[in-house]
Chains A and B, each alone.
Chain A
Amino acid sequence: MVALVILFIIGPGIMLKYFDTKITEDITWQESEQQAINNNKEFMNEDNISVEDKKYFEEQIAISEYRLANNVPSQVDGSVESFMSLTGGMLTLVTLFTVITAASIVSSEFSTGTIKMLLTRPVSRAKILTSKLLTTFIFGLLLFVVNVVVSALVGLILFGGSTGVELEMVNGQIVEKAVWNDLAYHYLLSGGSFVMSILFAFLVGSVFRSSSLAIGLTMFLSFTGGMIVMFLSRFKIVKYIWLTHSDLTQYEKGNFIIDGMTMPFSLTILAIYAVIFLVISYMTFMKRDVTA
């Protein structure tokens, strides 16, 4: 799995570098910025342009002018940062692999019958389940670290360090985009669905002792979770379902599935569900009569 994660980072990296070659023009960045300004101005002068678009083009022009005035070159496509924002999407893969582990770490003991060898040791069942859970999280963390480190390395090797500065407009002010901070924030928010998926897979795996059911159900919910929430959004109860909150990256982009969500509320709901999942997992595991 670690090897697969690495492969899934190196692969797109190489594809980006060697197959997605841009038409390189022999112009300086100042000339290309000037070109961009002209283009944007033309777009703005077109008829029936929406208010949002107009605002966007205005911002772009302002940023380009700022660059020219202050001698701040823009980011050339393909740098460590941009590559890492891209591989941030690979976190799904990390989650998937960790979910597989979480789903099968208990259930496979039952299906192979090794559970009876494990549970006749002088170690209480609670300790055994805790170590299983910890192992799962350590594995997930390892995959995450591998993901981050390898994408940084691959980005550095293939694209080199940063070549410019990303700018953005905040409240009418042109500021430098804090790429690394944004990335860290993205990783942190992704942790929400990561933890919930793992706990859910762990729950289904240890209660129903079927890893395929656990993987299937968890994946199903992560794909259709948004749809289910949409479907239920007419009802008030939707606020109290963990699926509504598990994708914390909503707070990054600011487009929420339902209205009136706040971070503390989301975190509280997730914490409550996490505890419920864990309690059910532990209760069934400790009370279960082992007949495998």
Chain B
Amino acid sequence: MTTQPIVQLQNISKTIRGKQLIQQLNIDLYPGQITGFLGPNGAGKTTTIRMMTGLMHPTEGNVIIDGLSLKDNYEEAISKVGVIVENPEMYKFMTGYKNLLHFARMHKNVTKERIEEVVKQVGLEKRIHEKVSTYSLGMRQRLGLAQALLHRPKFLILDEPTNGLDPAGIREFRMYLRKIAAEDGVSVFVSSHLLSEIELMCDRVAVIQNGKLIDIRDINVETSSFYYIEATPNDQAAALLQKLDYNFVTENNGYVVEIKKEDIPKLIMQFVNEGIQLFAVQPHQKTLEDQFLEMTGGGQIAEANSK
């Protein structure tokens, strides 16, 4: 990546009552990229996000947003950030519009036209003048997105943003994030426990466990290719794969074999020659879930769900 990172976490550590929640976290986020943030419960996701938004103060280290330190230049640095932390809590006794107006006043240069524009973008025009207490969770989520976008942030932090959205809403939301990332060069940082959601939405994932960053990688780039092969009798097939020196694991009724695409016809020929009955040969992609569990060592490493 040649572009300058817009957000840098530099050696962030957080200790609360002698317990180190976050240890030496370093993450760079780039414009136009959507980065997913994963980790098992209690790994420190929310703590990290709260430190990136100034809600918590890191014990050590620094958060740099667009070249400005959050510690020393809080007002200016945070003005470039749009935030949804967990459920966006709004003032329930006010209308959606009044809420937006209230938050807009705390930013510089947010016009009434901009508010209307954002309301239209999140699809709330019809209900914006009703009290927030009458809103459904999904509508509150939309309003939350609206308030985060008001001031055209360069960096958007979203904690569980699709919580409570209907499938159409989630899809719309994803499209919208992709659009602002691509068109306005907004850097998006999303934490979610919906792995499939992250997989569809993000370009990169950062995985955190026990307060440490254990991996940060691009999504959808397979380093090696896998194929799922189903054949009977089983033991003969296994013996053959072993003889041919392929790495494989048993799964369901077949095997997942690490094999290059060009070697597939040769392998099929060999199966046929041996008189083994072939039922299926299909490309197998590890899902994010597999990768995630593999990385975090969450229970047994299962290569589930061939795609």
Contacts and interface: CB of A to CB of B under 8 A. Distances in A.
Contacts of B83: 116-117, 120
Interface in B87-130: 87-92, 103, 106-108
B169 to A, nearest CB: 21
Given A113-B89, A117-B88, A290-B56, A122 B50 contact: no
Interface in B174-191: none
Interface string A104-128: 0000000011101111111110000
Nearest to B148: A120
Interface stretch (B29-37, B70-78, B214-222, B235-243): B70-78
A292 to B, nearest CB: 8
Contact of B85 (A116, A121, A287): A116
A291 interface: yes
Residue from B50, B87, B108 having most chain A Cβ neighbours under 10 A: B50
A52 interface: no
A13 B48 CA distance: 60
A114 B90 contact: yes
A289 interface: yes
Nearest to B108: A122
A152 B53 CA distance: 51
Interface string B53-84: 11111000000000000000011101101010
Residue from A120, A287, A290, A291 having most chain B Cβ neighbours under 10 A: A120
- Which secondary structure characterizes the binding site on chain B? loop
Nearest to A112: B89
A123 B75 CA distance: 6
Contacts of A119: 54-55
A123 B50 contact: no
Interface in A97-148: 112-114, 116-124
A122 B88 contact: no
B147 interface: yes
A124 B89 contact: no
B87 A113 contact: yes
Contact of B107 (A112, A113, A121): A121
A120 B57 contact: no
A290 B55 contact: yes
B90 A122 contact: no
Contacts of B16: 289
B89 A120 contact: no
A287 B16 CA distance: 13
Contacts of A122: 74-76, 78-79, 106-108
Given A113-B89, A114-B91, A120 B55 contact: yes
Contacts of B106: 118, 121-123
Nearest to B157: A120
B78 A112 contact: no
A78 B91 CA distance: 46
A117 B89 contact: yes
Contacts of B87: 113
Contacts of A118: 106
A10 B83 CA distance: 49
Contacts of B103: 117, 121
Interface string A259-292: 0000000000000000000000000000101110
Contacts of A121: 78, 103, 106-107
Contact of A124 (B53, B74, B92, B107): B74
A276 to B, nearest CB: 24
B50 A291 contact: yes
A289 B56 contact: yes
Contacts of B74: 122, 124
Contacts of A112: 89, 91-92
A117 B105 CA distance: 13
Contact of B81 (A114, A120, A124): A120
A124 B91 CA distance: 20
Nearest to B77: A122
Contact of A120 (B54, B92, B108): B54
Contacts of B92: 112
Contacts of A287: 57
Nearest to B89: A113
B14 to A, nearest CB: 9
Nearest to B51: A289
Nearest to A290: B55
Given A120-B81, A120-B83, A290 B89 contact: no
A43 to B, nearest CB: 61
A101 to B, nearest CB: 15
Contacts of B108: 122
A121 B87 CA distance: 17
B107 A289 contact: no
A48 B76 CA distance: 81
Which A-B residue pairs are the 6 nearest by beta carbons? Answer: A122-B79, A113-B89, A121-B106, A290-B55, A289-B56, A120-B83
15 contacts: A112-B91, A114-B91, A116-B86, A116-B89, A117-B89, A117-B90, A117-B147, A120-B53, A120-B54, A121-B103, A121-B106, A121-B107, A124-B74, A289-B55, A290-B50
Interface of B: 16, 50, 53-57, 74-76, 78-79, 81, 83, 85-92, 103, 106-108, 147
Given A112-B91, A118-B106, 20 more contacts: A112-B89, A112-B92, A113-B87, A114-B91, A116-B53, A116-B85, A116-B86, A116-B89, A117-B88, A120-B54, A120-B83, A122-B74, A122-B107, A123-B106, A289-B16, A289-B50, A289-B55, A290-B55, A290-B56, A291-B50
